[in-house]
A and B are shown apart, each in its own frame.
Chain A
Amino acid sequence: MPSILGGDIDPSSWSIIQVDLSQLNIQFLILCGVAGIDLAVEVMPDWSELPYDLLVLVSRCFNLIEDFLNFGIACKSWHSVATKHNFNSELPRIPWLMLAEEEEGNSFRKIFSLSNGMILNKRIPKASRKRCMESMGWLFTVGEDDGETSLLHPFSGVQIELPHQYTTVDYYDH
């Protein structure tokens, strides 16, 4: 009989080996049972397959926009729920602070994150050479030279022109 072990082996010794193995196996199982060892290995479920409604629930738990955006880039299904609508506006927000213009005419503004100390250089050309005041996430801007006023959203760049100050009743009294 050809053998992979390279020597002649008496077939009866094979059967002995097999019996021994199976007994070992049984003993091992019994030991595990007695010791209460759980042999089942947990397999990571597919989180990208989490149902849509549940993904929406998760997405609505982020109060920092960075976390929300990072969540939305993991895979397609997660991205599908990371919409503006699902960024929960009811959670408390940590504000960003816009710093004063550093050099005149420079269209970049520095915006400081109170949550992690990060400074973001944001190009806001429409805020150049203007005094900016904050109003509910928008900037109320006043032109330094011409006194033109507008509402400006620093991130979307949307600008709403407001009537010039001289149209207000008491403008010339000041």
Chain B
Amino acid sequence: MVKLKSNDDKEFEVEEAAVIQSEMIKNMIEDGCATSVIPLPNIDSKTLIKVIEYLNKHINMGKAAETGEEDDLKEFDEQFVNMGWEELFDVIMAANYLNIHELMELCCQSAADRLKNKSVRAVREMLKITNDLTEEEEQEIINDAPWAFEGPEIDDTVN
């Protein structure tokens, strides 16, 4: 068992087989730096619980393929990313810090899927992004491919 500690001082025990899906922790264990508790100063307990849930489910990916549990895993992934933008951001950052490539890809794909077919106005409003492009820069980008920004089917809602 490996002990992880979140930045709000909560400790979690995780099976080594699960936790080594994190390249960062795998390296720490291999280098003998994981003898006691591993502090994770960038991750709060709420996010860490999510990440551990993912790691436990994804233990032994190969085994899932053998026993035909791939669909099960796919369904889990779909459910897993069903979270708000705020939480998704935290999980992406945690996956990046822990270097769990599959989880990063899953979350980035989910972010992209949510942005698909959205108007830029809707995207900025949903994510509270401040547009720091100047009007000229924006117009230049639009002029390159005006058709891409004025499709009749573009979704302007912010859900």
Min Cβ gap B9→A in Å is 17
A171 CB within 8 Å of chain B: no
Min Cβ gap A40→B in Å is 9
Assembly CA distance A8 to B132 (angstroms): 55
User: How many residues on A have C-beta within 8 angstroms of the other chain's C-beta atoms?
Assistant: 36
Instruction: List which A42-79 residues lie within 8 A (CB) of chain B.
Output: 42-48, 50-51, 53-54, 57-59, 61-62, 64-67, 69-76, 78-79
Instruction: List which A8-67 residues lie within 8 A (CB) of chain B.
Output: 42-48, 50-51, 53-54, 57-59, 61-62, 64-67
Instruction: List which B6-63 residues lie within 8 A (CB) of chain A.
Output: none
- Which residues of chain A have C-beta atoms less than 8 A from B131's C-beta? 74-75
Given A44-B127, A47-B127: A76 touches B133 (CB 8 Å cut-off): yes
User: Do B89 and A74 have beta carbons less than 8 Å apart?
Assistant: no
Residue interface bits B107-134, CB-to-A below 8 A is 1, else 0: 0110111011111100110011111110
Min Cβ gap B37→A in Å is 25
- Which residues of chain B have C-beta atoms less than 8 A from A74's C-beta? 120, 123-124, 127, 129, 131
A117 CB within 8 Å of chain B: yes
- Which residues of chain B have C-beta atoms less than 8 A from A70's C-beta? 115, 118-120, 123, 148-149, 154
Assembly CA distance A76 to B141 (angstroms): 11
A162 CB within 8 Å of chain B: no
- Which residues of chain A have C-beta atoms less than 8 A from B64's C-beta? none
Partner of B141, one of A46, A65, A73: A73
B145 CB within 8 Å of chain A: yes
User: Do A48 and B129 have beta carbons less than 8 Å apart?
Assistant: yes
Partner of B151, one of A51, A73, A78, A116: A116
User: Do A45 and B86 have beta carbons less than 8 Å apart?
Assistant: yes
User: Do B92 and A54 have beta carbons less than 8 Å apart?
Assistant: yes
Min Cβ gap B92→A in Å is 6
A120 CB within 8 Å of chain B: yes
User: Do A58 and B124 have beta carbons less than 8 Å apart?
Assistant: no
Instruction: Offer 23 A-B interface pairs, CB within 8 angstroms, sorted by A.
Output: A42-B86, A45-B89, A45-B90, A47-B89, A50-B89, A57-B104, A58-B108, A58-B112, A59-B112, A61-B113, A64-B116, A69-B148, A70-B115, A70-B123, A71-B115, A73-B120, A74-B127, A75-B130, A78-B129, A117-B152, A118-B151, A118-B153, A120-B147
Seen from chain A, the residues whose Cβ lies within 8 Å of a Cβ on chain B are 42-48, 50-51, 53-54, 57-59, 61-62, 64-67, 69-76, 78-79, 113, 116-118, 120, 122
